[in-house]
């Protein structure tokens, strides 16, 4: 079991904290490829770094694109019920470039809240 540390914006932090977001989306870069099922992720709220959440990784879903990842699951699992695929992609590409997506692919990380 390994601990990983990642930052989160306010909205996804609150959604994980409330249990409405069960899949975290990340670029499948070198850092994320080190994550294994059973590992823990400690999320730090970027606007309030003293606030943290601990989750356990219960599944990993690598995809070649964010679009393919989003299409494979209910949007509610991303904490995005009622969104369109375009809204999800637009939000994702504000964080990750399409070039990085082509290089690394996308990763869905199924999480279970352990500690708030």
The residues spanned by each domain of the chain are: 3-115
Q: What are the tokens at 6?
A: 């990642």
CA-based nearest residue to 28, from 97, 91, 108? 108
Secondary structure (3-state) at 92: helix
pLDDT of residue 116: 64
| Topology given in CATH for the domain delimited by 3-115 | 2.30.130
What contacts 85, CB < 8 A, 6 or more positions away?
Answer: 67, 70, 71
Taking the chain (116 residues) in runs of 10, the rounded mean pLDDT of each run is 94 95 97 97 97 97 98 96 95 95 98 87
Q: What is the pTM of this model?
A: 0.95
Helix and strand counts by DSSP (H, E) for the chain: 4, 5
């Amino acid at each position: 079991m390994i601990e990983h540390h990642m930052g989160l914006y306010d909205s996804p932090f609150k959604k994980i904290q409330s249990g409405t977001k069960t899949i975290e989306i990340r670029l499948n870069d070198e850092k994320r490829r080190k994550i294994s099922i059973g590992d823990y992720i400690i999320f730090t709220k970027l606007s309030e770094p003293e606030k943290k959440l601990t989750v356990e990784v219960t599944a990993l879903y690598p995809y070649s694109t964010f679009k393919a990842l989003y299409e494979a699951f209910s949007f509610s699992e991303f904490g995005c019920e009622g969104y369109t695929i375009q809204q999800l992609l637009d939000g994702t590409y504000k964080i990750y470039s399409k070039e990085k997506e082509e290089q690394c692919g996308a990763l869905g990380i199924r999480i279970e809240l352990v500690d708030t």
